[in-house]
Chain A
Amino acid sequence: MKGTQYIDPQTPAEPSYRSGSSAAREVELISRIAQGDRKAFEELYGLYHRRLARFLTRLTKRYDVAEEVINDTFYIVWRKAGDFRGESQPSTWILGIAYRKARNAFRSSSRILAIENPEAPPPPLTTDESLRTEELRDWLVHALVQLPVEQRLAVELCYELGYSCEEISSIMSCPVNTVKTRLFHARAKLQKLLPALGGLVPKDQGDRSSSGAGVKS
């Protein structure tokens, strides 16, 4: 069944940071960091800063908190580089550290946000197709805020950062089935939220999550 045409050709391309050559380069950088090479450290920091800043700013809604989490993460990378044995991909190792830092930061920053910055939902989706993707992102971000933190992180790691189920399992230190269950419940909630927010999902599909019945929380 290879090459069937119903598959959306817009499948996201493999991110360049996860390619084999990129992973090998990162392993080399980590090895140099273990020797105290600051240039290598700066290069690795630059490779991850953008994607972590985007991921964490979306998660915490505050760049200062995101920056703190990034620096806490790389502080550990600097100190523990000598312990990295290549048993996992460098990105999985680094994201695993960032995940634990972010989870704690998210819990404290979300409490601050609830008091200081009650955010209004974005306007309804436009009919202009060129703007729909951008607006969908705004709606998704708005809907993600309403998910439990573990489900939200699983969504971000899968959809935004493009990790496989096994990689997310490693990053979140949980079984593969738990990752699938978190995504299952997250999708069900998003599908209930999005039709109401912008008419994205057809009304007769509003409760399609039941199609995957049998998954327990």
Chain B
Amino acid sequence: MMAAGQYVTHEEVWLSLPWLANGRLSQAERDRLEPHVQTCSTCREELTLQRRFCNALTEPDRVTYAPGPSFRKLMERIDSAPPQARNDTARDEVARPARRPVHLWRPPGLAWAAGFVLAIGLTSALTSVYNSARPLYQTHTDPVRGAPNILHIAFDRSVTVGEAEEALRSTGARIVEGPDSSGIFGIAPSVVASADTIPEHVSQEMHLLSARLRADPRVRWVEPIPGDDSSGGAPAPLSRGP
């Protein structure tokens, strides 16, 4: 442990004096420490005191302890304990570090948590992809935007509201929506179709109305009825450039 003749400090000797006193140092350790004790009066006196402590505390007992009754109590306790518990309990009572039991199947714990996080991430990613695939804008040809039997119309910027109303009135149309933030109106024929009107007649009326409005130079564009195959859903040509 310690080589004889090696340099030793007073503090090191001082810390080791209890074991020099109780006789539990190795010969090599004693050979190393004793020269200092021989020359240091403080350590020598302390060693004497330490030995007195050891002797005092190892004096024979004035009390006799009889183990018999205690042992009988212990055996009663052991006998009353479940026999199968002998090698399976009290794992934490010994200094050896406790080992976790090994199971063929383990509670999911971390694996489940990781799977849950992965599922959330995947769902989030798919949602992002879906959202990114959708246009961030809507047009007036968008089926969800347009209502049946309504045309969308944009007038030239120089056209006043009164002129727009006059143009609509002259072509047999009326405003039913808008204008929205872009100045787009929703219009419908002035004459409301009755419930028993044939759908083909309504469609034809809307096409005629659309044609009349496109002919008006104050109208920039008129959007056909959404979903109308006859118009192909294609944007109508601008009546006039921007």
**Chain A residues in the interface with B (C-beta under 8 A):** 1-2, 4, 6-8, 10-14, 38, 42, 45-46, 49-50, 53-54, 57, 63, 67, 70-71, 74-76, 78-80, 82-83, 93, 96-97, 100, 133-134, 136-137, 140, 156, 158-160, 162-165, 167, 170, 173, 180, 183-184, 187, 190-191, 200-202, 205, 208, 211-215
Q: Are B54 and A173 within 8 A (Cβ)? A: no
Question: Is B196 interfacial (CB-CB < 8 Å)?
Answer: no
**Chain B residues in the interface with A (C-beta under 8 A):** 10-11, 14-16, 18-19, 21-25, 27, 30-31, 34-35, 37-38, 42-59, 61, 63, 65, 67, 70-71, 73-75, 77-78, 85-87, 89-90, 93-96
Q: Which residues of B contact A10 (CB under 8 A)?
A: 51, 55
Q: Are B74 and A71 within 8 A (Cβ)? A: yes
- A interface majority secondary structure: helix
Q: Which residues of A contact B42 (CB under 8 A)?
A: 205, 208, 211
Q: Are B24 and A1 within 8 A (Cβ)? A: no
* Distance to closest chain B CB from A99 (angstroms): 9
With A50-B67, A213-B11 given, can you name 4 additional A-B contacts, CB distance below 8 Å?
A12-B54, A79-B85, A97-B93, A140-B53
Q: Are A97 and B94 within 8 A (Cβ)? A: yes
Total A-B contacts with CB atoms under 8 angstroms apart: 167
Q: Are A76 and B24 within 8 A (Cβ)? A: no
Within the assembled complex, what's the spacing in Å between the Cα atoms of A108 and B85? 28
Q: Which residue of A lies closest to B65 (CB)?
A: A53
Q: Are B18 and A13 within 8 A (Cβ)? A: no
Q: Are B21 and A96 within 8 A (Cβ)? A: no
Q: Which residues of B contact A205 (CB under 8 A)?
A: 42, 45
Within the assembled complex, what's the spacing in Å between the Cα atoms of A213 and B34? 20
Q: Are A137 and B59 within 8 A (Cβ)? A: yes
